[in-house]
Amino acid sequence: MDENIIHLALKNYSALLKRVDDHIRHIEKKYPDKIVCKKGCDSCCKFLTLFPVEAFAISAAFIKLPEETRDIVVKHLKKEEDACPLLIDRTCILYPARPVICRTHGYPIYIEKDGETLVDFCPENFKGMASFPKDILLSIEQLNTTLIAVNRHFLESIETTLPSPERIPISKAIFLLDEME
Ligand code: SF4
């Protein structure tokens, strides 16, 4: 598929990723000593399911990988492990194109439930912190609502009918572009 078409189809999604990345950068700048997430820490990297827009984006990145690398991923898929197939030597091979959820892993997200704010984050991060200022909390409900809207707009804007259910396992997501061509 033409690069310009891919770029246009992913315009809103790319804007959302930028907003999430900006938020994460803000946290990292504010708490440089409280975050231990680093290359090689793969405990969050489990098998994922993705919205079609995310699947399309990851597939557009996967297709550009060298054949040998793609072959390794295919071998991972055959093992049917719980780990994300995109992990090679404990590193995400599509890190710049990783989905939204992968960008928020480890950082404080929250949901409102029964009048309470429930916060979740990696226990290795933010050690010794008993509470979080509002500006570093990410509402997972708001994020999902935005992602659903971006996904809906994406599905309306592309001319191909995607042979896909609402959520696509990453094992199928990485081959989505091949299916569409
Ligand atoms: S896409 Fe990358 S960051 Fe996300 S779970 Fe897979 S390996 Fe980890």
State how far the Cα of 12 lies from the Cα of 169, in Å rounded to an integer. Answer: 22
Secondary structure (3-state) at 119: strand
- Range of the structural domain that residue 29 is part of: 3-99+143-180
125 domain-assigned: no
Q: Which atom of ligand 1 is nearest to the CA of 101?
A: 4
Instruction: Tell me: pLDDT of 162 over 80.
Output: no
23 domain-assigned: yes
> Which pLDDT band holds residue 181 (cuts at 50, 70, 90)?
low
Task: Return the residue whose CA atom lies nearest to atom 4 of ligand 1.
Answer: 102
Q: Which two tokens stand for residue 27?
A: 């946290």
DSSP letters spanning 40-92: T--TT-B--EE-HHHHHHHHHHHTTS-HHHHHHHHHHHHHT-SB-TTEETTEE
Q: Which two tokens stand for residue 32?
A: 């440089």
State how far the Cα of 51 lies from the Cα of 69, in Å rounded to an integer. Answer: 24
Instruction: Tell me: pLDDT of 98 over 60.
Output: yes
**For residue 163, what pLDDT is reported?**
54
Average pLDDT over the chain, rounded to an integer: 90
105 domain-assigned: no
167 domain-assigned: yes
124 domain-assigned: no
Write the pLDDT tens digit of every residue in 56-69: 999 999 999 999 99
Kind plus residue range of the DSSP H or E element containing 139: strand 138-139
Q: How many domains does the chain have?
A: 1
104 domain-assigned: no
Residue 48: CB within 6 Å of ligand 1?
A: yes
- Contact, 37 vs 105, CB < 8 A? yes
49 domain-assigned: yes
